[in-house]
Amino acid sequence: MSAPAPIPFIDLRPGDDEAAVREAIDRVLARGWFVLGPEVEAFESEFAAASGAAYAVGVGTGTDAIALALRALDIGGGDEVIVPAMTAPFTALAVIGAGATPVIVDVEPGTLTIDPSACAAAVTTRTRAIVPVHLYGQAADMAAIRQVAARHSLAVVEDCCQAHLATCGGRPVGSFGACSAFSFYPTKNLGALGDAGAIVTNDPAVAARAARLRNGGQADKYRHLEFGVNSRLDEMQAAVLRARLPFLPSWTSARRQRAAAYREALRDVRTVTVPPERDAGHVYHLFPVRSRARDAMQTHLRAKGIETLIHYPYALPEQPAFASEQPAACPIASQACREIFSLPLHPALPASTIDAVAAALADGPA
């Protein structure tokens, strides 16, 4: 009897979007314009509309989007910016890239998004902003975060890098603060064929300054008003993103359907726990579960041909890159990082695969 087919975590090859992606690439090649051209301008307009915002500014990466968003708000040297302990290190690295100091706080026990009460406790006279992360595609508690920000006159810069088209209380993520940052890394819900990012805002002054900062601080050709960087979304990636953007609503619906199927299949499984869905606007960039025997469980699943990944193995206070900031311990995030791992989930995932993964988890170590 042959072994069951392996279940990969993700397949990044184009699928139902293949013809559109190839046409987009051919269009750019035929035009011969590769940096800051009509594809970028069109994508910025289209992505802003899809995000429910007035402006989008294409940049090189999601990390640059956070850093340049902070700089566009005049946040930098001497300023503190609050970030969650449970996120990719790039969130805090972007704060450092803007010249500010990241202040790392713990997360809520269930959703693992930033804890608003921890944010309030971390505010000092130097605090200028909060960067909530909409982790795994689920919005942070934005109502509570906005209350903290308003009480202390802080800017909110949303890290939406995992949350394209997500909502919070029916309102699009990215619309709660001064601006927001998106990543289009290939694994994202809306992914490019390389690195790419965008800053989204309703403030024309922030959009204009972000556009200047991404292009070396140029106000017009060869005239640089301030120190900027070279972080320009290129035409090829913009064209690919334009081709894929119309597919995003159906892909998002498919992710939600598969996440619901996972939740049902795992309802009576006692070997893992599933973080709760706080808001129906969750877009399930990832589907994480928790296990006290994570390493053994991953080994068990690997033996059955099921690939899983860990997002993330270390809380930010445990990262050597931030040791000089002397971050406080964040026990909730640290415990989660020892237990969490992500199951395969993508828009084309078959229902039979979800059943197979659930059955393998049920047979795994507790």
Q: For residue 73, what is the domain's CATH number?
A: 3.40.640.10
CB 93 within 8 A of CB 321: yes
Name the percent of the chain lying above pLDDT 70.
99
Which of helix, strand or coil describes residue 46?
A: helix
Q: Is residue 13 part of a domain?
A: no
Q: End of a domain among 245, 278, 298?
A: 245
For residues 117 and 213, membership in a common domain is answered with: yes
For residues 196 and 259, membership in a common domain is answered with: no
Q: Which two tokens stand for residue 17?
A: 């979007």
Burial class (CB in 10 A: 0-12, 13-18, 19+), 23: exposed
For residues 252 and 108, membership in a common domain is answered with: no
| Separation between Cα atoms, residue 128 and residue 153, nearest integer Å | 8
The sign one gets for the Cα dihedral 94, 95, 101, 105 is negative
Q: Give residue 221's identity as a one-letter amino acid code.
A: K
Name the percent of the chain lying above pLDDT 90.
96
How confident is the model over 14-65, as pLDDT tens digits?
A: 999 999 999 999 999 999 999 999 999 999 999 999 999 999 999 999 999 9
Mean pLDDT of 218-233: 91
Give which of 341, 335, 278, 324 is closest to 104, Cα–Cα.
324
Q: What is the pLDDT of residue 220?
A: 85
Q: Give residue 9's identity as a one-letter amino acid code.
A: F
For residues 285 and 227, membership in a common domain is answered with: no
For residues 130 and 213, membership in a common domain is answered with: yes
Mean pLDDT of 161-184: 97
The domain tally of the chain equals 2
pTM for the whole structure: 0.96
Range of the structural domain that residue 348 is part of: 247-362
Mean confidence (pLDDT) of the chain: 96
For residues 149 and 217, membership in a common domain is answered with: yes
How confident is the model over 2-14, as pLDDT tens digits?
A: 556 799 999 999 9
For residues 132 and 191, membership in a common domain is answered with: yes
